[in-house]
Structure 1
Amino acid sequence: MAEEPRGLTAAEVAERVARGDVNADVDVKTRSVRQIVRENVCTLFNAINVILAVFVLFTGSYKNMLFMIVIVSNVIIGIVQEIRSKITTDRLSIVAGSHATVVRDGARKEVALHDIVRDDVVVLGRGDQVPADAVVVSGEADVNESLLTGESNLIKKAPGAELMSGSFVNAGTVCARVVHVGHENYAAKISAEAKQHKKVNSEIMNSLNGIIKFVSCVIFPVGALLFARMFFSGEGVALDQAILSTVAALVGMIPEGLILLTSTVLAVAVVRLAKSKVLVQQLYCIETLARVDTLCLDKTGTITTGAMEVAAVVPVEGADAGELDRALASLAAADDDPNETAQAVAAYYAARPAVRPLAPVRTVPFSSDKKWSGAAFEGRAYVMGAGRFVMGDAFDAFEGQAGELAATARVLAVARAEGFDADGAIVGAPALLGFVCIHDQIRATAAQTIGYFKDQGVTVNVISGDDPRTVAGIAAQVGVDGADEYVDATTLETPEQVADAVRRYHVFGRVKPEQKKQFVIALQEQGHVVAMTGDGVNDTLALKQADCSVAMAAGSDAARNVAQLVLVDNDFASMPKVVAEGRRSINNLQRSASLFLVKTLLSMSLAVLFVLLPWQYPFQPIQMTLISAFTIGIPSFVLALEPNRDRIRGRFLENVIVKSIPGAVCAVLGVLAVNAVGRLALGLGYGQVSTLCVLLVAWVGVMLIVRLSVPFTPIRSALLVVVVGGTVLGATLFHGLFGIVPFTVPMAVLFAACAVAAAALFHWLYGVLGRWHEARLAREA
């Protein structure tokens, strides 16, 4: 290595700091704890409930504020889960080096990455990550730029060559002068779009938000009308009673328990996945991945491990296979500073102890000019490198064989030579012994994992920056459909060409970072739900664009922080577990959500009707708490945590409403019948009518639980006993707390008649709507 540059002086460093030419910290950051807390607390959903709680507080009836327990629990779960993910992600980020060696005033010193200034001379050796864009001023090194470009091949860097921030030095040592700092760096430009927190495109979340937005538009106008009708109608309804009845109607409209249930179920899935070393950074991405129909994989680091391995050792015709093995083993053993290729050859022969390497007497290191390395042994010499550079024109005779091998791997020629001259050049005409084929090491579980997604009807696309022939060869080995037809992305120049290509092909090579994002957009515009996996800065744009993004923990900070899922053990085989958890969560949530929607539909319908009817709204907030606890809350949590790996069918909101309508219709008609008959025909008071309405709605809830529990299991049978027993207990031993009055004979007769009629109507409606929905799903399949 040439004499080391003196670097900047202290005065020059100070001058650049004053100008702002400093490598300011531009890494993608996770949200702060303050942001997480603010986003979970300051929501429209929470604001509505707090306003209603304030009205109840005004009446002094504190027991009617119990609904706020659900709101607080939901906020706590969201905050705890997101802070937990933040802490884990920040810990993963510490893996990257935080210091660099620079030359200042002729001496080496370590400085923090953000203290590097423009024109600093950085010293980079094997394993170091390039901290800022720079130009090599002395030395040579092999650099891995796969995190930036997707290319897994090592790039030789000599004086004058550019080094991109984020790449790694694989072998050799260089001194390089920093030319870009901070946001000017190549890696910073690529990851700039990833800096903003990405919201998940979740059907469940969108459905819940849609419900809340709709409710928020009608809740206060309806509430004001209902309160005015009761308080100013002259019926003698006291102010406190009018407020409580109004709040009961409005609280019932809001599916607050469903929000909590969703957060809890997904949080349980997060805990389960954590045991499988999968970090979930956004709760709802579990659902999104379960709905994915197209999976885009980056080859390096996903299908492959990122390490190199020997795919084959192929002698040419007439050559001695034993000598070829001995030559390769000897060359690998003679390399004092082996790069990934030499390491792969050494590992290959370490598993073959019968091949004993020769003792070297001279070595000729690899250089980007020669494109080969060699070593002399007692009585012979061998070289390994690019065939054309090793053999010259004599390589024409072997071009065909080398071309066939190059379809799936990088091919190096191995030849016997007479020796080397003083300048390290080959003496005489080398004799070709054969070829060694090197390719990325394929993960042992890759084929099985891709097979799983194919069985589930998910289309798998492989998108890589590597040579398309190499990508296609690896894709074929792991079972990707259509791997025999591939596309060189450099030929795709227009959005129309990209859209046509992603519609017809599944293997793409030479893909630029910007094109990966274009591919994802094109698939989304064609109606697909797209998941993207990757580990490099070059993947961040596509990861952010995808509906669900998955990163490897060993990848770049930018990829990890923009991804919604991080595979901590860097094993793509964890993906089926995520899909299974998503299916369990979504299918069970759909089943349980119908219980909540019954209350929402019931409360909205009754609130509007009782604005027009001459009676006081028949519920208080504490009574809605009794109904919510035993006929909605407890059963929904039990049903939502059961095993369920069925494929997801239909849309969330439609699936839920179809099962909710029968219960809501029966409950509304039952409440109207109780009020009409009870008040007009039987002369019942408000407390008696309210009691009948509460128990009738509970009865409808029990019927829906029965239908949702079919086929019954021991757990579901025990659940039904708890639901009925808890409701009865609340209506008897704790009747004072819940505003339940003792039954009279007229009340018992009216309840029995309404219960029988509701049961008959409920089961008929449930059957009719169920058959219609099944036929609709069959048509869409």
Structure 2
Amino acid sequence: MSTHFSQHTAGPIRLHVSPDQGLSNEQVAQQASKGLSNGFPDVRTKSIKKIICDNILTPFNLLNVILGLLVFLVGSYKNMLFLGVAICNSFIGAFQEIRAKKTIDKLAVVAAPKAHVIRSGQKRQISVEELVLDDILALESGNQICADCLLLRGECEINESLVTGESEPVAKKPGDLLLSGSFVVAGSCLARVEHVGRENYAAKITNEAKYFKKPNSEIMTWINRIIKYIGIAIIPIGLLLFYKQIFISGQGLQRAVVSTVAALVGMIPEGLVLLTSMVLAVSVLRLSRHHALVQELYSIETLARVDVLCLDKTGTITEGTMQVDHVLPLSSVSTEEISAIIAALTASSPDTSPTFSALRQAFSQCPDWQCTNAVPFSSARKWSGATFAGKGSYIIGAAEFVFKGTLPADIREKMARYAASGQRVLILAHSAEGFVEKQLPQKPEPVCLLVLSDKIRPSAPQTLAYFAEQGVAIKVISGDNALTVANIAKRAGLPDAGNYIDATTLTTDEQLAEAAERYTVFGRVTPQQKLALVKALKARKHTVAMTGDGVNDVLALRESDCSIAMASGSDASRTVSQVVLLDSNFASMPKIVKEGRRSINNLQRSASLFLVKSIFSSVIAILFIFLAFDYPFQPIQQTLISALTIGIPSFFLALERNKERIHGKFILNVLQKALPGAVTMIINILLLVIISSFYPFNREEISTMAVIITGFTGLTILLKISLPLNLPRGALFFSLCAAFVIALLFFRPLFNLIFITTPMLLALAPMMAAAACVMFSLWHLLEKYAGSRKNG
């Protein structure tokens, strides 16, 4: 092996080695010792330190600490108990998120792109971070280019859309630079690594393209808005209430501080954000048991809301393997010659697709022909070919693209007959002329038809039936013949599979947008058309999920609301997808959707509990700024009510099984559940104020009655959202009721409560009855309104 060195004044010593030999083990160690390796693995998840910081250093936790400090400074130490709830919430949220992180990191190793290098004359597979400067990369169709490199040998076509935004493949020849973050879509080559780690031209862009796609999450959007609105309102409300308690009501400093803190603590939905993170983290852990790697937490929510699922035929409906069924000669060329031609063609191509693998297996006796030029297959061209010395050029691919409508009617009829049975038909053609700039030679002549068939996945009919039952529209988008794909989809049990169209007939954006809604099966779709179809569906307010396993799916995967890749597919598809099916089994999809629905439905239910408290506390805090009464709650009382009616039940309910379909908008669903309870609680306190105007209850009696009526209403809300009661829900509800009664009877001093007197009981009894009537009436009205809005 000949090696020579060059010294650049602005860089390290370079090792220029033979592409066939690559670096030796000693040279690899030498480069790594100088720090010239590709760096550490890409971080797909937050560090443990960041998770802990994110769960502890939140705006509401900071506010809780300030409020706790104020209570401490005035000597009311037991009223600091609300800090314990915040600490527990942070601990639980961080613990579950760390568990999910560890699971994701382990699974990510399986799905992570690998680099193929030539070292010591042998081809090896290594992790991307083990690459060193001057390594020789062996690249082929579907590979991601993981470091800037210089093409040394071979030719290829590169998709640089993740780096430059341009979707058209770029032809590369020896001497051209290949940018990291781009993908090989056709051809193969050997290339020398020119930059590593942060020196790569597209390092930042690639990382953003991989992991920081903005999630399409209603929950995240609305929770952030709720936090923002409450955060803005809490300071002026607190200052005005404190001013009123001190300067108008004439309260002492301690009582004014304690009651103001109680009002503000009630406004804070401190567990809502952490509950959301925890629920989604638990979902990640559950999905890992079904061999699904979730690379973006909020994609679980998105997938649960999906109403259109775009599938590629290969790897989803079919197993991804093919077999040659028939060879139909169309000329005087003998069967033996056809076998030799196909064997020579497959030997000249690096294509490892299921089609070429089936052809290699069926035609394995390769003749000793000299290939002078080869055009690799690309999803845009739909054909590949090679020129052989003294033999001319041979092309194999889709007849529509090779002959562009010039085939005789009898050949088209034969093709249609086989396509109608769900088989794939390719044409082998010959021309005496060569390829010019990867363009078809003039006047190709048909040689034979090749009939191949896909194998339907056994689980496909059941999976497709599930989505049909759930109201999710399936769109099969394939580069194969439309009739072939339609018949395969029909065999797999896809409803309306006969509603298909050939995408080559869609020449305008308007036609394609109309077809996106109208048709079920799309054939002869180019990568750009896949992207346009996804955009068209999103433009019509659909939530679109896209599955794919090839580099031709990358653009559409990135555009979709939720992208799902097969682990057996290309580096490109796995890298840009939010969910990776590690067993490449489409049958896992219903489990993922069910897990998403469980998470979102339960989150909506639990979020309504938090909003009841926040709405109620915010409104009464404002009211008591103007009412001539003292604020009736203390922080420790708010802690009791929140823990028993919100904190404990929300965590249990959020992890229940729930298979209901998701309807409507997150915030509207939550408000529909929260408003009746919040309004009822507000009415309760106003009634208590009115009653206290006629009967001289003292401050402690009013406070105790406020706790009882608010706790009663909170437990009634919990009962309503827990219906229908099963054993776990019933046990939870009655345990919390018992805990509330025990607190009232045996822990009165701790919670600053007094014994219930007869006048108090006489006032509470009608208030409780009224509260139940008001709340259930409001629920009925809102449910009736929601039903009429849905039907209208």
**TM norm structure 2:** 0.75
Report the alpha carbon displacement of residue 40 of structure 1 after superposing the two structures with TM: 4.9
Q: Is the 8 A contact 1:251 1:621 kept in 2?
A: yes
SS at 2:322's partner residue? Answer: strand
Corresponding residue of 1:296: 310
Q: Is the 8 A contact 1:85 1:281 kept in 2?
A: no
Q: Is the 8 A contact 1:476 1:484 kept in 2?
A: no
| Shift in alpha-carbon separation, 1:681–1:188, aligned structure 2, 3 A | closer
Report the alpha carbon displacement of residue 693 of structure 1 after superposing the two structures with TM: 0.7
Q: What is the alpha-carbon distance in structure 2 between the residues aligned to residue 20 and residue 466 of structure 1?
A: 45
Question: Paired residue for 1:72, among 90, 111, 122?
Answer: 90
Q: Is the 8 A contact 1:386 1:413 kept in 2?
A: yes
Question: Paired residue for 2:218, among 200, 203, 226?
Answer: 203
Q: Is the 8 A contact 1:122 1:178 kept in 2?
A: yes
SS at 1:570's partner residue? Answer: coil
CA offsets, 1:218-264, max 9 Å, x none?
A: 111111111111122253x2323222211221121222233343333
Q: Is the 8 A contact 1:52 1:247 kept in 2?
A: yes
Equivalent positions of 1:483-498 (< 5 A) are 484-488=500-504, 491-492=507-508
Corresponding residue of 2:682: 668
Number of positions where the alignment pairs a residue of Structure 1 with one of Structure 2:
717
Corresponding residue of 2:436: none
Q: What is the alpha-carbon distance in structure 2 between the residues aligned to residue 648 and residue 308 of structure 1?
A: 36
Q: Is the 8 A contact 1:537 1:559 kept in 2?
A: yes
Report the alpha carbon displacement of residue 580 of structure 1 after superposing the two structures with TM: 1.0
Equivalent positions of 1:570-609 (< 5 A) are 570-609=584-623
Q: What is the alpha-carbon distance in structure 2 between the residues aligned to residue 131 and residue 758 of structure 1?
A: 64
CA offsets, 1:642-685, max 9 Å, x none?
A: 3321221222222222232222222222222223423x333222
When structure 1 is superposed on structure 2, of 64-73 and 496-505 the one drifting more is 496-505
Q: Is the 8 A contact 1:146 1:300 kept in 2?
A: no
CA offsets, 1:589-612, max 9 Å, x none?
A: 333333322212211111011101
SS at 2:753's partner residue? Answer: coil
| Shift in alpha-carbon separation, 1:233–1:514, aligned structure 2, 3 A | farther
SS at 1:97's partner residue? Answer: strand
Q: What is the alpha-carbon distance in structure 2 between the residues aligned to residue 499 and residue 361 of structure 1?
A: 46
| Shift in alpha-carbon separation, 1:707–1:64, aligned structure 2, 3 A | closer
The AA in structure 2 aligned to 1:670 is: N
Report the alpha carbon displacement of residue 744 of structure 1 after superposing the two structures with TM: 1.6
Q: Is the 8 A contact 1:490 1:510 kept in 2?
A: no
The AA in structure 1 aligned to 2:720 is: R
Corresponding residue of 1:712: 725
Q: Is the 8 A contact 1:135 1:179 kept in 2?
A: yes
Say whether 1:690 aligns with 2:703. Answer: yes
Gap regions ≥5 residues in structure 1: 104-108, 150-154, 350-356, 375-382, 416-429
Corresponding residue of 1:645: 659
| Shift in alpha-carbon separation, 1:203–1:414, aligned structure 2, 3 A | closer
Q: Is the 8 A contact 1:533 1:549 kept in 2?
A: yes
SS at 1:488's partner residue? Answer: helix
Corresponding residue of 1:455: 469
Corresponding residue of 2:459: 445
SS at 2:225's partner residue? Answer: helix
**Percent identity, aligned pairs only?**
39
Say whether 1:11 aligns with 2:6. Answer: yes
Gap regions ≥5 residues in structure 2: 17-35, 164-169, 376-384, 431-444
**Cα-Cα RMSD:** 5.2
| Shift in alpha-carbon separation, 1:646–1:55, aligned structure 2, 3 A | same
| Shift in alpha-carbon separation, 1:489–1:280, aligned structure 2, 3 A | farther
Q: What is the alpha-carbon distance in structure 1 between the residues aligned to residue 717 and residue 672 of structure 2?
A: 12
| Shift in alpha-carbon separation, 1:123–1:215, aligned structure 2, 3 A | closer
Report the alpha carbon displacement of residue 88 of structure 1 after superposing the two structures with TM: 3.3
Corresponding residue of 2:291: 277
**TM norm structure 1:** 0.76
SS at 1:642's partner residue? Answer: coil
Q: What is the alpha-carbon distance in structure 2 between the residues aligned to residue 125 and residue 558 of structure 1?
A: 12
Q: Is the 8 A contact 2:61 2:270 kept in 1?
A: no
The AA in structure 2 aligned to 1:63 is: L
Q: What is the alpha-carbon distance in structure 2 between the residues aligned to residue 609 and residue 74 of structure 1?
A: 35
Corresponding residue of 2:81: 63
Say whether 1:222 aligns with 2:217. Answer: no
Q: What is the alpha-carbon distance in structure 2 between the residues aligned to residue 652 and residue 123 of structure 1?
A: 48
Q: Is the 8 A contact 1:670 1:754 kept in 2?
A: yes
Say whether 1:242 aligns with 2:256. Answer: yes
Corresponding residue of 1:378: none
Q: What is the alpha-carbon distance in structure 1 between the residues aligned to residue 129 and residue 675 of structure 2?
A: 62
The AA in structure 1 aligned to 2:234 is: I
Corresponding residue of 1:352: none
Question: Paired residue for 1:552, among 566, 578, 583?
Answer: 566
CA offsets, 1:527-556, max 9 Å, x none?
A: 121223334555455444432222333445
Corresponding residue of 1:194: 209
When structure 1 is superposed on structure 2, of 651-660 and 31-40 the one drifting more is 31-40
Q: Is the 8 A contact 2:374 2:387 kept in 1?
A: no
Question: Paired residue for 1:257, among 271, 280, 305?
Answer: 271
Corresponding residue of 1:344: 358
SS at 1:727's partner residue? Answer: helix
SS at 1:532's partner residue? Answer: strand
